[in-house]
Chain A
Amino acid sequence: MQKSALIKAMGVAFAAVAITACSSNSVDEGDALTTAQPVVVEEPTKKVEQVTLSAEELQAQADAQLREMTVFYFDFDESTIKNEAKAALTAHAKYLDANASAKVTLEGHADERGTPEYNMALGERRAVAVRRFLMANGADASQISVVSFGEEKPAAMGHTESSWAKNRRVEIKYTAK
């Protein structure tokens, strides 16, 4: 689910790059492809501006799709954000930056291994790591609340690594759009 959203988003980003590439010679295609950053086109003529606008729209769509990813996973006893989470988290941060009234709650969780209270602390550390990332990318502290449920609210009920991997997570929940 998250993977396919990411692939879709990358596809849209790719299309945006392809269209802007047609209208501008200065775009480094390879770089744009790997980072999926918005492409800035300078000195727009009237004709080109129209294309640029739609590129922004496409980028907005790509970001919206990236924001469909709201659950981010962690390794055991770790609160380090994984690389694959960063594009989507950046999209959430941009949205919060652009929409001052938007607010999120970051729910931190742990898998069932270890002790419930230590896992409460671990879940909080994970949520705070996400908070720090969002703030570094434009979100304001006042837009973010953090709560840890420790191991009390697993997403998957099993008792093997496949379930545990789904339970070591932070969920972004929008409380205001």
Chain B
Amino acid sequence: MVIRSFFMILVLMLSSVSRAELVIEVTQGKQSAIPIAIVPFSWEGTEALPEDISGIVNNDLGSSGYFRALDRGLMITYPDNPDDMVFADWRNLKQDFVVVGRVTVAPEGGYAVEFHVMDVHNRIEMLHHRVKGAENQLRDISHYISDYIFKRLTGIPGVFSTKLVYVTTNPERTRFNLSFADADGAREQLIFRSDAPVLSPAWSPDGRYVAYVSFENGHSEIFFQELATGTRTKVVSFDGSNSAPAFSPDGKKLAFVHSTLGNPEIYVMDLASRKVTQVTDHYAIDTEPQWMNDNRHIMFTSSRAGGPQIYKLDTQTGSVQRQTFEGRYNARPRLTDDNSKMVFVTGGGDRFHIAVQDLETRRVRVLTSNTALDESPSVAPNGSMIIYATTENDRNILAAVSVDGEAQFRLPSRFGDVREPAWSPIMN
């Protein structure tokens, strides 16, 4: 029985993987990755479950870099509850933790998942939890379980329930699709399709809206789109170029770049009144604004010293402070949620990489080396990972790197080029 449902699960797992547009592959895990075995959850029903819950959890934790998930084929037994656990088997397999569980039909309808995290070294049950949901929520339940386990074992909030927004395009650049998907690449949904370029997607802090730049009317304009309804609103459409939207963390303001005749400046729109204020004034290029947590300071890219460097602007006093000094090209700042670190693009010549600067010590570390032409970094809301766009074998793909540089991933698209990723906030 257990073996039969395991095969069902395997078939399901394969079919669910082939549905995903983007598939995460770990290219380098953390040295300290915790060995964990996610035993396939049992299911007593006669019909196969529409989603392989434990398979999704296995994939989430394994692709986080923080865990090394044991291959199901190497497992000796498939317990579904703590009483059936033979700790010695898992100790021999050099596992630190084992997750066991079962899926049942909830008496009130839908499904219930009961799971246990077992500590192999101490031979005890570490935690035990039960989750319920409807059939169309099985993936959400799976990511919830992943977040729960991740938080308990690492102390860091998981981001498996978050979303990614990104642009896919053909090599000829005649079709542009703005889409969003689960952080593991599954359940892709189209937001907007155009023959003209679409770029710079940015999430509202509540995760309900995506702001982006579209050239559909011949020049760049900024639109908001509500994801739940698909409703689009044109928000910034001055003569010339309008780009680089960024919501303030309190959701009240939008920073953006407006330019007529080659002099891009940063502006702030109060979203309630739609009142616009210019906040930079320099003949150089000023672009790529990113708010700090105080809803007052903005990190941005400027060419005022010749090449692009990153500066910090106080929007109330107008004072500007240079942040980056190493290297000829430093651009597109992004901040971790706690504002302790700044992530940006650094480079020159034919190599551009993702770097991180500790904002207190000012120390800079380049995180990527296996990829070149890296751009568009976006930081996960738990500050652990950076997703970015890069080029591999003449194709644009997404890749990710942990903020400590230890773990590296790639997320190739099955079709065409994928660019401009933006990681959503944690949505509740």
Contacts and interface: CB of A to CB of B under 8 A. Distances in A.
Nearest to B351: A113
Given A117-B244, A117-B301, A146-B240, 16 more contacts: A114-B331, A116-B375, A117-B199, A117-B288, A118-B308, A120-B199, A121-B303, A128-B262, A129-B262, A147-B218, A148-B220, A150-B199, A152-B199, A159-B373, A159-B391, A160-B350
Counting contact residues on chain B (CB < 8 A from A), the size range is 35 or more
Contacts of B394: 157-159
Contacts of A122: 285
Contacts of B220: 120, 147-148
A115 interface: yes
A131 interface: yes
Interface in B161-206: 171-173, 197, 199-200
B287 interface: yes
Contacts of A152: 173, 197, 199, 215
Given A121-B264, A147-B218, A153-B197, A112 B373 contact: yes
Contact of A118 (B241, B262, B332, B391): B332
Contact of B331 (A118, A131, A159, A161): A118
17 contacts: A77-B329, A115-B375, A117-B199, A117-B244, A117-B257, A118-B288, A118-B308, A118-B331, A121-B287, A124-B241, A124-B264, A129-B262, A131-B261, A146-B261, A150-B199, A152-B197, A154-B173
A77 B329 CA distance: 10
B197 A113 contact: no
B327 interface: no
A36 interface: no
B166 to A, nearest CB: 13
B259 A124 contact: yes
Main secondary structure of the interface of B (DSSP, over half): strand
Kindly list the 8 A-B residue pairs having the minimum CB-CB distance in the complex, ordered from nearest. A128-B262, A152-B197, A115-B332, A121-B285, A125-B262, A115-B331, A121-B264, A117-B244
B80 interface: no
B307 interface: yes
Interface string B397-419: 00000000000000000000001
Interface residues of chain A: helix, strand, loop or mixed (majority): mixed
Interface in A90-136: 112-118, 120-122, 124-125, 127-129, 131
B60 interface: no
Interface string B196-226: 0101100000000000000100111000000
A114 B345 contact: yes
Contacts of A146: 240, 261-262
